[in-house]
Amino acid sequence: MEQKKRTKKIYDSKAFWIIVSLLCSLMMWTYVTGQDTSDQGGLTISGIKVEFQGQEALLNEKNLSITDVSAETVTIRVTGSRSNVTKLKASDIKAVIDVSNVTQPNNMTWTYNLVFPSYINENDITVVRKTPDTINFTVVKNGSRSVEVKGSFEGSIAEGCVAEELAFDPASVTVEGPEETIEKIDHVWLTFGKGQNIDSAYVEEVEFTLRDKNGNVISKDGLNISVDKITATQPVLKSKEIPLKLKLVPGGGLTESDCTVKIDPAVISIAGDSRILDEMEHLEIGTIELASFDGGYEGTFPITLPEDVQNITGVTEAKVTVTVEGAHTKTFTTTNIACKGVTSGYHVNIDTKEIEVTLRAMSADVLNNIKPEDITVIADLSNNVSTTGQIIVSGRVSVAGHDNVGRIFALAAALIDYDDRNGGAECEKAAQNAHSLAESAACRNYISDDKHEHRDDVQQKRRAVNVATSS
């Protein structure tokens, strides 16, 4: 009984019925809004991407590409149940154009199909507006070409170093796409190393742009490029200044100390690996036989550097001047002509009876004290073992009793008959005696440099004192 009274009291309560009313209203509102398909419950969705279906087959099978697309995205307004509409996101919707049936280049205006995500019941939503409603695009013939990579190092090179030519890997890229666009591309351009100060090779992987012949950027849109990035290298070499030097071979009564040498340029700048440059103190450009000239010498020598070493100066030849002051010369005629190296069983007859020899010394008194009989010419036949007849043989000039005198200009020579009759031993003995005399006086002077052989021959012909062996 008491329980019934309490229950009746609740039902009679105004607050109870207010709560019940509120609950009923909420339930009714939920039902109504869940079934609302009016525009009032609509949603505008922007940024829906346009996609071309069958584009890969279009390229691979028909060599056609899509270009000049009028819109990359579209905007739609949809209505429907709030439970569906409120779930929609632009990233989940696609605006699809199927180009698989396109067969030739043309300008196109097509509508697109909207593809909604699987979690949406398409029967419960309605597309009331599409902006734009159609998409314009162009189908063009596809092309391909290899494009050279160019670029610039934007950093700085440390003092004492020199930059080499830039290197790129790959050195060219392959670009595929619409022929009209491909034909405009002149090169690939990149920059790297900004803010860097380098003293060794700098390497960086960088992105690039496509450029026409005027340097204008060409969009990569719609193009297939073989690489996304290029490895750019700025090689750096160490630089150094080194002096040029000339090797002087003593002879003709002169040593290096008797000469003044001028080389122009005297110094050049080179670049290369530090390990190579550290070992280079100077660069020897050539050799001059001091016995090959009288008062002085002028000529040019090529500047030849080791492999992998660069000539930064750029001068490829050096002018050389050698001067001698205070030298004296005197010409003698000697009859002391002998042979050595005669093969056993062979006979030698020296047809030349006298030879003219020009000697040089730093003192005129020394030359004046020399007598013709002090001068000996020895023809070496060691290389003529099986030769018979008349042959040309160069001779060694010796001056007995003088170690500061030397022969200049031509090689001394003699005309010799050489056959296989006995008699060689006698001539060989004479040559040995003459040779011993010269050696004991420590004054032998001899030049056999191939560079001067032609000049020597000419000089001898002029003097009619050639040493020849004839057959």
Q: What is the pLDDT of residues 258-301, one digit of tens each?
A: 999 999 999 999 999 888 898 999 999 999 999 888 888 999 99
368 with 449, same domain: the answer is yes
Of the ranges 7-21, 311-325, 433-447, which one carries the lowest mean pLDDT score?
Answer: 433-447
Looking at the structure, do residues 320 and 340 belong to the same domain, yes or no?
A: no
- Domain membership of residue 136 (yes or no) is no
**Averaged pLDDT for residues 59-87:** 89
- pLDDT digit string (tens) for 9-28? 555 666 655 676 667 666 65
Type of residue at 313: T
Averaged over 58-75, what is the pLDDT?
Answer: 90
From the list 358, 334, 391, the residue with the least C-alpha distance to 462 is 358
Residues 435 and 341 placed together within one structural domain of the fold? yes
Structural domain that includes position 311? 239-324
Q: Are 314 and 345 found together in one domain?
A: no
The pLDDT tens digits for 296-315 are 899 999 999 998 899 999 99
The terminus-to-terminus CA distance of the chain in angstroms comes to: 165
Q: Are residues 226 and 247 in the same domain?
A: no
Same-domain check for residues 308 and 253: yes
pLDDT the model gives residue 410: 52
Residue 59 has a CB neighbour count (10 Å cut-off) of: 16
In this structure, the answer to whether residues 368 and 348 fall within a common structural domain is yes
Q: Residue 113 sits in a domain of what CATH number? A: 2.170.120.30
pLDDT tens-place string over residues 88-128 = 999 999 999 999 999 999 999 999 999 999 888 888 889 99
355 and 450 housed in the same domain: yes
Closest alpha carbon to 200 in 240, 233, 154, 231: 233
User: Is the domain of 345 the same as that of 447?
Assistant: yes
- Same domain for 334 and 318, yes or no, is no
Q: What is the pLDDT of residues 190-231, one digit of tens each?
A: 999 999 999 889 999 999 999 999 999 999 987 889 999 999
pLDDT at 456 over 50: no
Count of domains for the chain: 5
pTM strictly above 0.75: no
Give the pLDDT score at 415.
61
Give the pairing type, strands 161-163 and 43-53.
unpaired
Please report the pLDDT score of residue 123 as a whole number.
83
Does residue 117 lie in a domain region?
yes
- For residue 251, give the CATH number of its domain: 2.170.120.40
